[in-house]
Structure 1
Amino acid sequence: MQISIIALIVGLLSLRVMPWLPSIFWLLSGLLVALLLLRTRLHLFGFFLLGLCWACLSAQWALDDQLAAALDGRTLWITGTVVGLPEWPVVQGQPPTVRFELDDAVSRRAQLPRRIRVSWRTPAEPVKAGQRWRLAVRLKRPDGSLNPYGFDYQAWLLAKRIGATGSVKAGQLVAQGQGLDHWREQVRARIQRYAPEPAQGLMTALILGDGSGLSAEQWQTLQATGTVHLMVISGQHISLIAAVAYAVVFWLMRLGWWPQRVPWLPAACVLSISAALAYGTFAGFAVPVQRACIMVMVALLWRWHFQHLSVWIAFLIALAVVLIYEPLVVLQAGFWLSFTAVGALILAFAARLGPWRWWHMVGRTQWVAAIGLAPFLLALSLPVSLMGPLANIFAVPWLSLLALPLTLLGALLLPWPSLASWVLSAAAWCLTAMFAGLDWFAQGWPVWQGSGVTVAALLLAVLGVLCWLLPRPLLPLLAGLLLCLPLLKPSKEVVADGQAQVWVLDVGQGQAVWVRTAQHSLMYDAGPFMAGFDAGERIVVPVLRGYGQTGLDELLISHADADHAGGAQAILDAVEVKRVVSGQPAEHPPSFAAQDCRAEQWQWDDVWFWRWQWHNAKDSNQKSCVLLIVAQGERLLLTGDLDAAGEAALLADWPWLQVDWLVAGHHGSRTSTSRRFVQAIAPQYALISRGKHNSYGHPHPQVLANLQREQVRIYDTAHDKAVQIYLGRYSEPSSMARQLRFWR
């Protein structure tokens, strides 16, 4: 039985690495073959094929439910019901914006996906769960920035079966809220009313699984201490609720207070399962909750019949049921981390002989989870907290025994405000004290953000982890350490002397270009900071860390506009920057210590760099600092937002200027990249860094016409995503969009 379940699971997990999906004909044929093989000696292959075909069919149905290409970028009036809890992120200096999902969305003009995720800046009235709205929405097909070692937003949308995104232009309320989500909304509102303000977001996260109320500082503390799992509804919370419900019946029986006519064991199992499912449903039923509920149900059903149950059976059944119910969950990082942590704990504890004292259990649980998760955290480009085990030893008992019970009790007492307020105040004190302790732990060793992990290094590290978790007589601990060493080595691509690796990053409506030679590194512009999204923190820094880059020789900011300089502070906070140069140094904070963009020529590793700025510039765009890079005679030009007048001045100072690569000025605006300029510099390739469906209309048709008239090949980050160039090789560029993934 276990082997058959494993074969089915492997087939379901294989969806994650599929470059494309077979046609419906082949999938249905595969399902038929799989069913025929189940009664033969090839039954294991039949189970594998059954899982793979079901996963591919489910993924194809999700892809078929996406917004039609003809509707991409159009504004339609749609009607739908708000599902889940709307998110109200608080960003200082920004107008209030709400993000929410619409279910059963309909329009008179077109067929729409079943679920749509939208954002609404300064809504006419508060948006609440369960309400039905009629909205004017500018619809977009699922899309997002795509960069090396970055978050794949398009995969995340598909995993949640969101077929379109959009921004709301206007709306009117059709019907008031109702249903479970409306009830959850009311609970959140009451918590915000009766609980002390600093702990309101923490309580809604614990009770409802809604982490949108946590501040940026709280998230940073949780990440630095490896305790993020405490503030989302995890298996630990579900297991605690189930154990309390079971213990109530058990102790009533032991004390003789349980009615003898009612069998206590079935009642305890049913009550425990019901409590776990009720809490899980109320909290949103995320992947860790699904896993914990299923494992609790399997274990209690076996216990009901007085049968011994292998914990691996419960684990495999939970894994199979979660994957069958939603195969696309393999696209979510939380799925892999949740099941990996539990698998590591089972492997470590199930193979041991003899009892352990409770303090041994607490301590070893934390280091086992830390060791088991480390390779997968690095593979997912997530930070590893070196203080995590110690912080969890403190925080897990504190939360489980004090903060969580008081928070849940306060939620149950919400119909009696005076009692609820008192209990929630006590819970808030416990949570505040816990975060004070976590802040202290966070001051210790910083989180470790490793470089990119190769598949070979990940597989070796997994074998190394098994050496540490399996019983010691089987494999030496030294072997585990040696197998993990490749994981610690940066997967840094070697750049030869006389060449430069250039990444034009996909940062949306902005610009960030990273240039690396054999021994030096330069960042031209830092990406935008708009509507609470910091491209420097979310995109640029993960790229640098993924390549094992701990510092920059120069951060060159073309000018001070937010779409070019917005992410600079995050870069300065994350890596060591030796020098900051800007076209507008006085417009940056004093902490930047930015130097003026002066005409300068220098050489790094046989690669030449030239800087230039128009001295007669009158506005911010004209003050853009221009950078020319030459490697083995191959040239790349970056002009920031320099307009046509500035381009003419550049040609006057550099009459010899001709290039192979041009990053189009001002994101393809018609004020830049003039026809005269293109004819003079004669580029072979042009790169346009801009956001899809941006409100500025970039790139302008006239700019595209200028480039096409001169037979310039165009690469656009809105479609090609991040583009990589090896300057000095005279080779074709590569783009992230060329990676074969079935969801793109």
Structure 2
Amino acid sequence: MHDAARTPPFGKLVACALLTGIGAGLALPQACPWGVSLPALIAVALTWWRLPRWRWLAAAVLGFALASLHATYALSLQLPADWEKREVAVSGRIVDLPQHEPRRSRFLLRVDDDAQQPAPLRGRLLRLAWYDDELEPRRVLLAGQRWRFQARVRAPRGLRNPGGPDAEKYALMQRLAATGYLREPERARLLARASGLDAWRESISDRIAATVHSPSSRFVRALALGDTRGLDERDWSVLRADGLTHLIAISGFHVGLVAGFFALFVRGLWRLWPGLGRWVPAVVAASVAAMLGGLLYAASVGFALPTVRTWLMIALVAALRMSRRPFHAFDALAMAAILMALVDPLALLDAGFWLSFLGVAWLLWCLPDSMAATGWRDRLRGFLGAQGVASLGLLPVCVLLFGQASLAGPFANLVAVPWWSLVVVPLALLGTGLEAIHAGAGEFAWRAAAACFDASWPWFESLADSGLALWWLPEPAWFALPLAMLGAFWLLLPRGVPGKALALLLWLPLLWPDRHLPEPGEAELVVVDVGQGLSVLVRTANHSLLFDAGPSVRDGFDAGERAVVPALHALGVRRLDRVVASHGDNDHAGGVASVLRAFPSPVVFAPPEADGEALEGIRTRSCEAGRSWEWDGVRLRFLHPPRHFPYLGNESSCVLRVESRHGAALLTGDIGEVVERDLVRRAGLSAQERLRAEVVLVAHHGSGGSSDPDFIAATGARHALVSSGHGNRFGHPRADVLERWRQAGAGTRDTAADGALRVGLRAGGIAVETRRQTHPRLWDATRRAGAGLSYRPD
């Protein structure tokens, strides 16, 4: 009995052990086989009750086994390899709110579970896109409808880059079976009109948009319903810079706020009519009201994961209060974490899970006295202390998860937390509640919420544009987070604890990580995974050059914004000295504008008279053959196009040679065999036109019209790198082209299969690292043959 009391079945130690086990299971490069996980669960059940002393170990094993089983099951839901690129006829219901973009609409479809559906997709979740230049889907696609579509589907696939979003992880968390797009949208057939919770949410969102004429109606919709579709990139950039995204993207705090209002309302009723206590005790009534209020709000925002987590915590606290037994807040937090982890172990992959529980844990540990404060000064001191604790305690997690820290965050939250959460959100929710009772009753509350939001938003925009905006940090080593968390724990210890200044040293690996910059005379190349396009970062000891910036397409995908800029931040690039747009084609120059917004004022090179929408309004210099310069003992020289060469699109691509003391690299753009043979000819006439290079970027993504045998021989390459999109419609790279390079003695790497490629021309030799090898994940799509989806439709 003593052992059992020392290790409670659902205490803090068990919660920590369970989360550790789940984290370990999800961190493995491959899921543990079910033949091992199932016996482990049986052993855990025996250990749990028979050996109380070892409950913590049983919890860790339980977490590991559950994570493996859930991950294995979620991966088994994904489309098999032999179904890749098939056209299928599916019918199902649209779940959640469709996202409408300039040229496409994206939506989640829950396929019907009947014999008429393709066997691998029955009852499963698909993410589909409807492309239509006339914006037809915006008028006809509604949440809650049932449709029948003809679609081309593929297993979920994403880009793999430093600092970039992990679409494959998101697909695993959502249990997505496939992604795809509609074929022949005109044949789509509506089977049933919109109905259900999501249909109600969309109708209320439309009512807010129609009745609130202030531009801030988009924020009212976001706060009341979790509908962030109206927010544009400028809105999100301001929120990120000010550290306020947690308030707009429905947070658990909002659920707690609603639950608290319901509980206070019921408490007031019981005070007015004390006789009600004879039937139901006030504590029980308030607890049930808090549970129901939180549940209603969670439903109104579509049961978003943060709201579900918070509601589970509220339900546990309410149950404990109704039991009339004393409990500690930490115990309730531990039980909520255990319950959430047991229900969905894959929730630990979500950043919000850790921010929610760690934030509450920090506050409970550091501010127990301020929570019981009664005077306004004590409450104000407690509020300011809570902001300081949250900012300091969660900074390490935010840096690791997002690669950024908002210096303006603590100041912005001092205003936004009380104003938005205690004024704007209640008004928005009041309007929604009244509207649900009677049409038109909530308009005044929505307008009031928008007016209150308008009063604060200009200040937040000014703060975001100030010098207190985002601080981007390079990708740290694995040990940086535990050291920084230990440092935060040390700093937040009570006054009088010695050595707090030394605790700051524990933050150094996180805030000032080693960027692994080349030494003088060395160079590094990073081929960013941008899908069907190209972007290469060239670094020396003190300088950086970007060769192309990937595609930007009308359907909303901008590789410069979504892949290149995050990768540059994660690699610790603080400025770009030069940018080269090899030519005007969109798949090479489309992302240049986004890169220049994030890294202003570099010198931009392009072929003379290069055309294309991507380069409009950008002042460029000619990448004429013979132009060269030297950085930190590394020589960079353009080899093509020569003077007076007419602009011919691909054939006019800039060709750049990077020559370090330890090897050379050749970046070729989209040149074809004719230009390659001309380069070989000119190399034979002039020593300055040398083509020898240990590393070559294969021209034109490995197309059949490039990689001339004489050119391959002239380079003498040991490494041939390809940048292509998985499953692209052009068939790049061609198998015969890769074979040519291999027969010449070069190893081949392709971003489509390997993710970002990192090449070092260093004193220790020439090494090629791939993102999927150095950062393996159990949800890695390349392990499932044929999986993938390129960045745009065929």
Deviation at 1:253, TM superposition (A): 2.7
TM-score by length of 1: 0.94
Alpha-carbon separation, structure 1, partners of 2:522 and 2:266: 72
Match status 1:408 vs 2:420: no
- Decide whether the 8 Å contact of 1:190 with 1:414 is kept in 2: no
Residue type of the alignment partner of 1:479: L
- Decide whether the 8 Å contact of 2:25 with 2:63 is kept in 1: no
RMSD: 2.4
1:96 and 1:578, CA in 2 relative to 1: closer, same or farther beyond 3 A? closer
Alpha-carbon separation, structure 2, partners of 1:100 and 1:195: 28
- Decide whether the 8 Å contact of 1:490 with 1:547 is kept in 2: no
1:134 and 1:707, CA in 2 relative to 1: closer, same or farther beyond 3 A? farther
Residue type of the alignment partner of 2:663: E
1:81 aligned residue (85, 90, 93) = 93
1:100 aligned residue (108, 133, 137) = 108
- Decide whether the 8 Å contact of 1:347 with 1:470 is kept in 2: no
Deviation at 1:241, TM superposition (A): 0.6
Deviation at 1:361, TM superposition (A): 2.3
CA deviations on 1:274-322 (whole Å, 9 max, x unpaired) are 1101111221223321222122222222222443321101111111111
1:633 and 1:549, CA in 2 relative to 1: closer, same or farther beyond 3 A? closer
Counterpart mapping for 1:176-187 below 5 A: 176-187=193-204
1:699 and 1:31, CA in 2 relative to 1: closer, same or farther beyond 3 A? same
Residue type of the alignment partner of 1:664: V
- Decide whether the 8 Å contact of 1:87 with 1:100 is kept in 2: no
- Decide whether the 8 Å contact of 2:160 with 2:755 is kept in 1: yes
Question: Which residue of 1 is the match for residue 82 of structure 2?
Answer: 70
Alpha-carbon separation, structure 2, partners of 1:10 and 1:347: 20
SS of 1:35's equivalent? helix
- Decide whether the 8 Å contact of 1:81 with 1:105 is kept in 2: no
Alpha-carbon separation, structure 1, partners of 2:54 and 2:285: 42
CA deviations on 1:361-403 (whole Å, 9 max, x unpaired) are 2222222111111111111233211111111111111112321
1:198 and 1:311, CA in 2 relative to 1: closer, same or farther beyond 3 A? same
Match status 1:643 vs 2:672: yes
Question: Which residue of 1 is the match for residue 62 of structure 2?
Answer: 50
CA deviations on 1:545-581 (whole Å, 9 max, x unpaired) are 2232211221111112222122222222223554221
Residue type of the alignment partner of 1:160: Q
Match status 1:520 vs 2:537: no
Question: Which residue of 2 is the match for residue 112 of structure 1?
Answer: 121
Counterpart mapping for 1:479-558 below 5 A: 479-530=502-553, 531-558=555-582
Gapped regions of structure 1 (runs ≥ 5): none
Question: Which residue of 1 is the match for residue 5 of structure 2?
Answer: none
Alpha-carbon separation, structure 1, partners of 2:511 and 2:484: 10
Alpha-carbon separation, structure 2, partners of 1:198 and 1:243: 30
Deviation at 1:218, TM superposition (A): 1.2
Question: Which residue of 2 is the match for residue 562 of structure 1?
Answer: 586
Deviation at 1:712, TM superposition (A): 4.0
SS of 2:758's equivalent? strand
Counterpart mapping for 1:379-394 below 5 A: 379-394=400-415
Question: Which residue of 2 is the match for residue 398 of structure 1?
Answer: 419
Deviation at 1:411, TM superposition (A): 1.4
Deviation at 1:129, TM superposition (A): 1.5
- Decide whether the 8 Å contact of 1:196 with 1:428 is kept in 2: no
1:442 aligned residue (464, 468, 471) = 464
Residue type of the alignment partner of 2:58: G
Alpha-carbon separation, structure 1, partners of 2:571 and 2:104: 36
Aligned length: 740
Question: Which residue of 1 is the match for residue 319 of structure 2?
Answer: 301
Residue type of the alignment partner of 1:49: V
Alpha-carbon separation, structure 1, partners of 2:656 and 2:272: 81
Deviation at 1:197, TM superposition (A): 5.5
1:735 and 1:621, CA in 2 relative to 1: closer, same or farther beyond 3 A? same
1:353 and 1:27, CA in 2 relative to 1: closer, same or farther beyond 3 A? closer
Question: Which residue of 1 is the match for residue 628 of structure 2?
Answer: 601
2:219 aligned residue (184, 202, 207) = 202
Deviation at 1:257, TM superposition (A): 6.9
- Decide whether the 8 Å contact of 1:58 with 1:327 is kept in 2: yes
Alpha-carbon separation, structure 2, partners of 1:185 and 1:81: 15
1:735 aligned residue (764, 770, 789) = 770
Question: Which residue of 2 is the match for residue 621 of structure 1?
Answer: 650
Deviation at 1:157, TM superposition (A): 1.0
- Identical-residue share of aligned pairs (%): 34
1:552 and 1:353, CA in 2 relative to 1: closer, same or farther beyond 3 A? closer
Alpha-carbon separation, structure 2, partners of 1:105 and 1:165: 18
Moved more, 302-311 or 216-225: 302-311
Alpha-carbon separation, structure 2, partners of 1:149 and 1:179: 38
- Decide whether the 8 Å contact of 2:370 with 2:379 is kept in 1: no
Deviation at 1:466, TM superposition (A): 0.7
Gapped regions of structure 2 (runs ≥ 5): 1-7, 685-689, 781-794
- Decide whether the 8 Å contact of 1:86 with 1:101 is kept in 2: no
Counterpart mapping for 1:302-451 below 5 A: 302-350=320-368, 355=373, 357-414=378-435, 416-444=438-466, 445-451=468-474
CA deviations on 1:200-240 (whole Å, 9 max, x unpaired) are 32122212222222121111111111111111221211111
- Decide whether the 8 Å contact of 1:381 with 1:546 is kept in 2: no
- Decide whether the 8 Å contact of 1:347 with 1:469 is kept in 2: no
Moved more, 221-230 or 261-270: 261-270
1:219 aligned residue (224, 232, 236) = 236
Moved more, 174-183 or 386-395: 174-183
1:290 aligned residue (308, 311, 315) = 308
1:659 and 1:480, CA in 2 relative to 1: closer, same or farther beyond 3 A? closer
Deviation at 1:591, TM superposition (A): 6.2
- Decide whether the 8 Å contact of 1:203 with 1:407 is kept in 2: yes
1:674 and 1:167, CA in 2 relative to 1: closer, same or farther beyond 3 A? farther
Alpha-carbon separation, structure 1, partners of 2:98 and 2:80: 26
1:190 aligned residue (200, 207, 224) = 207
Match status 1:137 vs 2:137: no
1:112 and 1:308, CA in 2 relative to 1: closer, same or farther beyond 3 A? same
Question: Which residue of 2 is the match for residue 469 of structure 1?
Answer: 492
- Decide whether the 8 Å contact of 2:540 with 2:631 is kept in 1: yes
Counterpart mapping for 1:271-286 below 5 A: 271-286=289-304
Deviation at 1:97, TM superposition (A): 2.9
- Decide whether the 8 Å contact of 1:606 with 1:631 is kept in 2: yes
- Decide whether the 8 Å contact of 1:209 with 1:233 is kept in 2: yes
Deviation at 1:584, TM superposition (A): 4.6
- Decide whether the 8 Å contact of 1:227 with 1:391 is kept in 2: yes
Alpha-carbon separation, structure 2, partners of 1:451 and 1:75: 42
- Decide whether the 8 Å contact of 2:677 with 2:708 is kept in 1: no
1:134 and 1:439, CA in 2 relative to 1: closer, same or farther beyond 3 A? same
Alpha-carbon separation, structure 1, partners of 2:474 and 2:406: 15
1:109 and 1:423, CA in 2 relative to 1: closer, same or farther beyond 3 A? closer
Alpha-carbon separation, structure 1, partners of 2:462 and 2:279: 51
Deviation at 1:708, TM superposition (A): 5.0
Deviation at 1:412, TM superposition (A): 2.2
- Decide whether the 8 Å contact of 2:15 with 2:337 is kept in 1: no
Residue type of the alignment partner of 1:291: R
1:690 aligned residue (713, 724, 727) = 724
Question: Which residue of 1 is the match for residue 687 of structure 2?
Answer: none
Residue type of the alignment partner of 1:58: H
Residue type of the alignment partner of 2:519: A
Alpha-carbon separation, structure 2, partners of 1:200 and 1:696: 44
- Decide whether the 8 Å contact of 1:558 with 1:625 is kept in 2: yes
Alpha-carbon separation, structure 1, partners of 2:275 and 2:243: 42
Deviation at 1:503, TM superposition (A): 0.9
Deviation at 1:730, TM superposition (A): 4.4
Alpha-carbon separation, structure 2, partners of 1:142 and 1:382: 25
Residue type of the alignment partner of 2:160: L
